[in-house]
Amino acid sequence: MKKHNFSAGPAILPAAVIEQAAAAVLDFNGIGFSLLEISHRSPEFIQVMEEAEALVSELLQLPEQYKVLFLSGGASSQFFMTAMNLLEQDGHAAYIDTGTWSSKAIKEARLFGNVDVIASSKDKQYTYIPKDYLIPEGAAYLHLTSNNTIYGTQFHAFPTTSVPMVCDMSSDIFSRPIDVSGFGLIYAGAQKNLGPAGVTLVIVNEELLGKVNRVIPSMLNYKNHIEQQSSYNTPPVFPIYVTMLTLRWIKAMGGLAAMEQHNRTKAALIYNEIDRNPLFRGVAQTEDRSLMNATFVTGDPAHEKPFLALAKEAGCDGIKGHRSVGGFRASIYNAMEQESVLALVQAMQHFERVNG
């Protein structure tokens, strides 16, 4: 029986990428050494880093002033690193609170300056994306989280503002085309759409850097990482290589426009079944539903464990909702095939026939 990986992260990777990465662990490009043991200063790995940067720039059509970094520390480190580099102690930044990760970012940013939470969906358990809010013109930046894995909501349109936007795109980067010019900085943990855990992608408009007066520790200063081409210290070699392979795969699949269509088709399959099936109910408001993480519950709590067992029998793994909210969550990132979504839909239909 085929297994279907609906895990929210670390998440599914393209099969071809896993095969290439596995081969590189044994012998990288025929050089007689494993990828895991080559120097990050070697010509072989420098070529990997350069290709990965070039693919990010090509796929997102980055303007020249945007720099690509591959850093350690996870997206959570960017909660404070962005504020440390961009927010003066007596300045203020605007934040939109749409869930757990944006709440954590707000907490960290308050260590470095004033934070204005200009909008929040906490009043309805983060089941929607706020629409009506005023962005302060004097803000150093506007921070938002583009996709919320726990609650299953997503920004389908970004604000139009002269204030630089800082965005945590950990769970939906490279899933659709975006206009990067509206953002001052984008960061994303790799373990959703890009690669294995262990590397964080940062895309930053270099013109925003070097303007705060505080002393920034060397390892936390974006300018140092730009100058050293993501090798200020030893970078996470294997995750960067797998990220490069994944970016190659995205390009070969037709780029971001093709990814968006692929993801919309899969999302429509699962959401149509959630709305049709009387035993299930969607959690997020319809207009804000995520294309990456479909969240839903049963009408009867007694059905939760039996459905999880049935889904497991059908090979659908990782659909249990986050421990903080319960229910179910089907994560359908780029590498998820349509047949896997259909397997889950068929399991839901079978559950209805047995229990409806």
Active site amino acids? 101, 168, 192
Amino acid at 322: H
User: 148 with 321: CB under 8 angstroms?
Assistant: no
Q: How far is CA 113 from CA 145, 158, 213, 297, in A?
A: 19, 24, 12, 39
C-beta atoms surrounding 237 within 10 Å: 22
The backbone region for 300, taken as left when phi is positive above 0, alpha when psi lies in -120 to 50, beta otherwise, is beta
Residue of 244, 284, 253 whose CA lies nearest to 156? 284
Q: Is 115 helix (H, G, I), strand (E, B) or coil?
A: strand
- The DSSP string of 34-85 is -GGGS-TTSHHHHHHHHHHHHHHHHHHT--TTEEEEEESSHHHHHHHHHHHH
Residue of 198, 155, 194, 195 whose CA lies nearest to 173? 194
